[in-house]
Structure formats: structure tokens, C-alpha cells
């Protein structure tokens, strides 16, 4: 719509409900891919260009190691639980961690 109909980024953002900066990001991305397509003159990539803009973005998600509960951490947890129990017994229910 930005290129073909001359609609402003603000108007596209209003129509789609997306942030204007997100619209600008997609337009800049499209322009960069379009320039590369023009330079390479590869007609097979035209579908890839529009497909990349229309599809939802795919994010790279890192694989994190599972946290290990050490004896030191277990001891701190036990201490907090004991402290909470003492506070409950004293009637300090709101001061529990």
C-alpha cells in the first residue's frame, strides 16, 4: 500500500493497528530486499520478496541450559521457609517472603 497506493506509514499503522515504527521497519526491509533483487536481476526471487513481508517473523530462540538447584540454593530456600513459618506464627502474615 505504501508503494502502490501512496498511503503514508501513519495511515497504514492506523489501519493495521500496528505501531508506526514497525511499519517503517517492514518498509525499509522491503526496500533493501527490492534493491538487492534489482541488482541480481533474478526473477525467481520476486515471490520470495513479497512472501517474506507477508509472513509473520520467525525469531531465533536460544537454547538455555536448565537451572541446577545446588545444595547452597536448597539451604537458602529452607531458611526462607523457616523464616516464613516463624513470621506466620507471630501473626505477621503480610511480611512473609
Quote the radius of gyration of the chain (alpha carbons, Å): 27
d(CA 91, CA 83): 13
Q: What pLDDT is attached to residue 61?
A: 78
68 and 41 belong to one structural domain: no
Residue 88 has pLDDT above 80, yes or no: yes
Residue 35 falls within a domain, yes or no? yes
Q: Which domain holds residue 21?
A: 9-54
Tell me how far apart the 2 most distant CA atoms of the chain are, in Å.
78
14 and 44 belong to one structural domain: yes
Q: Of 17-21, 33-37, 49-53, 57-61, which range is least confident?
A: 49-53
d(CA 88, CA 96): 7
pLDDT tier, 75 (very low <50, low <70, confident <90, very high otherwise): very high
Residue 81 falls within a domain, yes or no? yes
41 and 73 belong to one structural domain: no
Residue 42 falls within a domain, yes or no? yes
Provide the number of structural domains found in the chain.
2
d(CA 57, CA 29): 12
| Phi and psi, residue 18, nearest 5° | -95, 160
Residue 33 falls within a domain, yes or no? yes
Does the pTM surpass 0.75? The reply is: no
35 and 70 belong to one structural domain: no
Cell for 84?
A: 516464613
Q: What pLDDT is attached to residue 1?
A: 63
What would the mean pLDDT of 9-18 be, rounded to a whole number?
Answer: 87
Amino acid at each position: 500500500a505504501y508503494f502502490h497506493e501512496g498511503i503514508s506509514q501513519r495511515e497504514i499503522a492506523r489501519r493495521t493497528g500496528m505501531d508506526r515504527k514497525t511499519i517503517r521497519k517492514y518498509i525499509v526491509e522491503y526496500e533493501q530486499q527490492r534493491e538487492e533483487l534489482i541488482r541480481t536481476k533474478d526473477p525467481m526471487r520476486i515471490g520470495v520478496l513479497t512472501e517474506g513481508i507477508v509472513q509473520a517473523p520467525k525469531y531465533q530462540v536460544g537454547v538455555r541450559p536448565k537451572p541446577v538447584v545446588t545444595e547452597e540454593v536448597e539451604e537458602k530456600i529452607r531458611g526462607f521457609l523457616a523464616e516464613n513459618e516463624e513470621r506466620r506464627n507471630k501473626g505477621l502474615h503480610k511480611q512473609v517472603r
